[in-house]
Amino acid sequence: MASSATQLATGRTIAITGDLAYTSGSFNGTGNVTGVGTLANTTVTPGSYGSSTEVATFTVDSKGRLTAAGTASVGTALTVAGDSGSENISLLSETLTISGGTNLTSSAASNTVTVNLDPNISLTSVVASGVVTATSGFVGNLTGNINSSGVSTVSSLVATNINTSGIVTAAEFKTGASGSAIGINTNTISGPATITLDPAAVGDNTGLVVIKGDLQIDGTTTTINSTTVTVDDKNIQIADGAANDAAADGAGITITSGEGNKTFQFEASGDNLGSSENLNIASGKVYKVNNTEV
């Protein structure tokens, strides 16, 4: 192999164009030539791209070259709106806090925020379309369907349905407007012109009403529609409280009949017990005056 080359008659250069620009120095074949290649300019401005508020964007051609570079803004603020008002939160420097508020407690763990209702709550007003159920009672003003198994204390209660297994205490109970519904106030039960007590079975005039203690009736008429009246008392007082005989005149028993009433009454004139009908003494019985047969 030859250790030298034949010199070219005319010197030459080698050039490369396209994505790489290169032009060699002149050579004639007798020695090595070294040149520097330059990549074609892609018009991308040199420098750093991206920041805390922007992300870098790049365009890469089919040859893997960066042909464009730029930035795009990222969202750095979040607008949070409430029932009233709104607030802008900086996602880079601020923390969004969800606080519990009245009767609520919040907690955050494992990327989850939980809002819990406090075990004991105080409300100025509650509007519910369904049934409100409480196991420890109510305090306040209530309207609607109410279920309670605890002790309920309210200053005002208007309800279409009340279901309670506990104690309901109030200064007064009313089932409707005064004078047209039942009302209970301290020791008085008031109501419309007619009040009916109907023990089970309802509507068939059966059952039993028991009054423990004395019974006082202050009306003008007492009507009993039962077929049998049983009285354990040994003495029945009529015209109780009459100031004198004149006031007691006419007191007695009247048997109503379509053919004329039958009476056995006191007659103040003559101090007699008068009978409108005959007295029929059973056989073997006699009339006595001062326990002496007449």
pLDDT (tens digit, 9 = 90+) per residue, 59-93?
Answer: 998 888 888 999 988 878 889 898 888 999 888 88
Task: State residue 12's pLDDT score.
Answer: 81
Task: State residue 294's pLDDT score.
Answer: 87
Residue 152, pLDDT > 70, answer no
Locate 11 and state its tokens. 């010197």
Q: Pick the range with the lowest mean pLDDT from 148-157, 200-209, 253-262, 268-277.
A: 148-157
pLDDT tens-digit profile of 18-71? 777 877 778 777 778 887 888 877 888 888 988 888 899 999 988 888 889 999
User: Cα torsion for 145, 149, 150, 154, to the nearest 10°?
Assistant: 20
Going by C-alpha positions, the residue among 281, 269, 211 that lies closest to residue 245 is: 269
For the chain, give the percent of residues with pLDDT over 90: 31
Domain segments of the chain as ranges: 104-195, 245-293
Residue 1, pLDDT > 60, answer no
Residue 13, pLDDT > 90, answer no
Q: Please measure the distance between the N-terminal and C-terminal CA atoms of the chain and give it in whole angstroms.
A: 187
The residue type at 135: T
d(CA 15, CA 22): 5
What average pLDDT is seen over the chain?
A: 85
Residue 149, pLDDT > 90, answer no
Task: State residue 154's pLDDT score.
Answer: 65
pLDDT tens-digit profile of 102-146? 889 999 999 999 999 888 777 777 676 666 677 766 666 666 777
Residue 255, pLDDT > 90, answer yes
pLDDT tens-digit profile of 264-287? 999 999 999 999 999 999 999 999
The residue type at 139: V
d(CA 141, CA 80): 34
Task: State residue 142's pLDDT score.
Answer: 67
Residue 176, pLDDT > 60, answer yes
Locate 126 and state its tokens. 């509650």
DSSP per position, 199-245:
PSSTTTT-S-----S-----SS------S------S---SSTT-SSH
Locate 276 and state its tokens. 């409108």
Task: State residue 119's pLDDT score.
Answer: 84
Q: What is the 3-state secondary structure (H, E, C) of 49-107?
A: CCCCCEEEEEEECCCCCEEEEEEEECCCEEEEECCCCEEEEECCCCCCCCCCCCCEEEE
Counting other chains too, the contacts that 10-17 makes at CB distance below 8 Å and 24 or more residues apart are none
Task: State residue 93's pLDDT score.
Answer: 84
Cα–Cα distances in Å, from 172 out to 2, 47, 154?
Answer: 130, 85, 11
Our measurement of the distance from residue 129's CA atom to the centroid of its chain's CA atoms, rounded to an integer in Å, reads 7
Task: State residue 169's pLDDT score.
Answer: 74
